[in-house]
Amino acid sequence: MLKGILNADDAKKAAQAGVDGIVVSNHGGRQLDSAPAAITVLPEIVRAAGGRIEVLFDSGIRSGQDVLKALALGARGCLIGRAHLYGLAANGEAGVTAARGIIRKELDVSMALAGVIDIRDVFGRYSL
């Protein structure tokens, strides 16, 4: 896996180099005022990857609704490290379990409000 992709050309190069997948993320780049928001470049990167490699998303996932948006824009999965860390800091292992449960419940509610029954039906369904 290669993390930190924010450019479609880099996604193509990663696929050509034989990586198994990429993580669309501006991790560390948030200090630069000209770095694009990862969510805005996600659809272009997914198109550039062309199904040859897995595309995961990591940047700004704070809720189940954020997960649904990233999946709808083409990500095959999301990293939710910050929620895990907050849960861990608040209540150890039980806090991590609770944080995951909250995001899962928010995802379920967001899917219901969007009329989505099966998460597989949302993958790459929308674009910006």
Residue 91 to residues 96, 98, 102: CA-CA distances in angstroms? 7, 9, 14
Contact between residue 41 and residue 58 where contact means Cβ atoms under 8 Å apart = no
State yes or no: is 84 an active-site residue. Answer: no
Q: Of the residues 3, 12, 13, 27, which is catalytic?
A: 27
Sign of the Cα torsion 67, 70, 71, 72 reads: positive
Contact between residue 33 and residue 73 where contact means Cβ atoms under 8 Å apart = no
Active site residues: 27
